[in-house]
Chains A and B, each alone.
Chain A
Amino acid sequence: MPCSAARRAAGGAAWPRDPGHPGTRRSAGEKRVALFEVRGLTKRFLGVTAVDGVDLALEPGELVSLIGPNGSGKTTLFNCVTGYLTVDGGRVLFRGRDVTGAPPHRVARLGIGRTFQLVSVFPRLSVLENLLVFLQQHQEEDLMGRLLRTRRLRRLEAAAVDRARSLLDLVGLAGQADVPAGTLSYGQRKLLAFAATLMPDPDLVLLDEPAAAVNPTMINQMKDRILELHRRGKTILLVEHNMDVVMDISQRIVVLDHGQKIAEGPPEAIRRDPRVIEAYFGR
């Protein structure tokens, strides 16, 4: 179960090869099953209800955006579903399994990858090592094996290096594989964090503002990469402020305001929704 993604990844595929991904296999008449589901999620900070009974469901292969004005609870929701914050109510289900309250590392190993809003890398590890860290826990859970460095582990390591190099090619950082990640530019670090999230081939990718604070060229690159990921059948939940990006690539948009879900639907409908316009611009 948790290892299915890892085993696939351990095979050393360059870009996630989506062998028989549910998203591509689904026939038209089949009942759609949610890969990821949030039911009545509530989070309070002292007196403030940051997330207020939000329901959300993602089917396999969907690309959904979560938008809303500043402070509407998007990042809080991310942190709740990935175990970084405890929840005050509601449930989080991944593949029908209750993962509410599971610690972050366990959520990650189940196959949910996430990026952070503030760009997050391991600054003193090399770019390559940054990626390797993201795969190793999914490949091997045996401490003794790690101390003794069995042959199996060496093989896994070689596969991980191969995969890391092809992901670096993909985000255009192949030339910087051996420099400390802390020396990269902001945009490059963002690309690195994105690539790292993909290392273990997660089934669900949560991206927290991938296009924020990067230059327009980089925004287009990022957009292309997210679309490519979507084409390969990954399920993606995106938090983003850049409306051009959101409207361009999302299949469905969920709008939060003051912690509550105020609208949900395809981009065209959201663009015209009076509640959304009101939330963003006031009455």
Chain B
Amino acid sequence: MWAAAGVALVAAPWIVAAAVPGQQRYVLHILIFTGLYGALALSYDLVVGQVGSLSLAHPAFFGIGAYTAALLATEARWPFPAGLLAAVGLAGAAAFLVGFPAFRLAEHSFAIGTLGFAIVTQLVANNWVEFTKGPLCVTGIPRPEFPLPFGLTFRITVLPHFYWASLATLGLTALLYRRMTTFRLGRALNAVRENEPLAAAAGINPLKYRLLAFGVGAALAGGVGAVYAHYISVLCPGELTIGLTVNLLVMLFLGGVGSLRGVLIGAVLFTALPEVLRLAPTWRLVIYGLLLLVIVIRAPEGLDAMLRRAPGSGRRRLAA
């Protein structure tokens, strides 16, 4: 069952080509976006779902990664792997710098503090024209190239390659997410989320674990940003608006915050759904909005929790 799903995921480019010959590029594009959004949502969930800090700075880290990779590739001609590493490192480092003062703030102030950082980052991207090109956007970001031994290079050029790159990004992120959220590390993170004073009584340093989740989440977001920049090849400041936070929050909370499956369900649904709704262009946003409302009312803890409850809905009262 899982193996079949895996094979289908890897073979998706061919399946898509066979199923919708005319629309192949469009469908693959959506799938690539789904993969990248899934990875981004998972990295965000490390902070919001696992350690329970409502950070609104995630687009900033995504943007720092994207701009780092884009500028290094266009201005300094760095090869993709080096740019990717720089993006991951810089986004992670920025998170530690922001996190140290920000985590001194209590819950809501923390959200506002990180929101401030997100806005500042976007303003810098928009206005530091000499460096980021501002609203003119960074253009001509090359296709990712991997230098191989013997002077060879592997170049990602066609859409299916990008799809696999996106799938690999998602896979690696999911793997790291699982490592972070299970066993001892996951228990420590969740303990801090559930009850910070009690976690401290258990010998857990809450600040350390919050910073860890924040830093790793940001570093992953930076990596996703780098892949994203190389994929779309044009990077504009508009990519890092608060709108991205809203999208990610919708994926997290309607999918199932704090659960790998829930976040992935959210990412798939809310990347694909707006596209499917293009069938009814006039009513698209109305239907989207109504669906959000229905889900919030019917499944306030997220779709994942609803699915888990489905077999024996009699237990519902007890669990509450």
Contacts and interface: CB of A to CB of B under 8 A. Distances in A.
Given A121-B198, A122-B191, A122-B195, A105 B204 contact: yes
Nearest to B195: A122
Contact of A137 (B197, B198, B204): B204
A121 B195 contact: yes
Given A120-B195, A124-B190, A108 B185 contact: no
Contacts of B318: 183
Nearest to A154: B183
A136 B188 contact: yes
A122 B198 contact: yes
SS class, residues of chain B in contact with chain A: helix
B194 A123 contact: yes
Interface string A23-54: 00000000000000000000000000000000
B200 A108 contact: yes
A114 interface: yes
A134 interface: yes
Contacts of A91: none
Interface in B158-201: 179-180, 183-185, 187-188, 190-191, 194-195, 197-201
B206 A133 contact: no
A153 interface: yes
Contacts of B201: 82, 104-105, 108, 113-114, 116, 120, 197
B6 interface: no
B257 to A, nearest CB: 11
B319 interface: yes
Contacts of B184: 132, 136, 140, 146, 153, 157
Nearest to B197: A84
B195 A147 contact: no
Given A124-B190, A183-B318, A108 B202 contact: yes
Interface string A111-138: 0011010001111110001001110111
A196 B202 contact: yes
A109 B203 contact: yes
A124 B187 CA distance: 11
B127 interface: no
A82 B198 CA distance: 12
Contacts of B203: 105, 108-109, 134, 137-138, 200
B205 interface: yes
Interface in A118-174: 120-125, 129, 132-134, 136-138, 140, 143, 146-147, 149, 153, 157
A11 interface: no
A124 B204 contact: no
B212 interface: yes
Contacts of A274: none
Contacts of A109: 203
Interface residues of A, number: 35
Contacts, number: 84
A183 B319 contact: yes
Contacts of B204: 105, 133, 137
A266 interface: no
A120 B204 CA distance: 15
A103 interface: yes
Nearest to A200: B203
Contacts of B179: 147
Contacts of B198: 116, 120-122
Contacts of A146: 183-185
Nearest to A197: B201
A132 B204 CA distance: 12
B314 to A, nearest CB: 15
A103 B205 contact: yes
Interface in A194-219: 196-197, 200
B276 to A, nearest CB: 34
A104 B200 contact: yes
A132 B190 CA distance: 12
Nearest to A122: B194
Contact of A133 (B180, B197, B199, B212): B199
Contacts of A108: 200-203
B188 A133 contact: yes
Interface string B280-320: 00000000000000000000000000000000000000110
Contacts of B195: 120-123
A83 B200 CA distance: 10
A121 B195 CA distance: 7
Contacts of A133: 187-188, 191, 199, 202, 204
11 contacts: A103-B205, A104-B197, A105-B199, A105-B200, A105-B205, A108-B203, A116-B201, A120-B201, A122-B191, A147-B180, A149-B183
Interface of B: 179-180, 183-185, 187-188, 190-191, 194-195, 197-206, 212, 318-319
The 10 closest A-B pairs by CB, nearest first: A137-B203, A104-B200, A122-B194, A108-B203, A109-B203, A134-B202, A105-B205, A146-B185, A120-B198, A105-B200
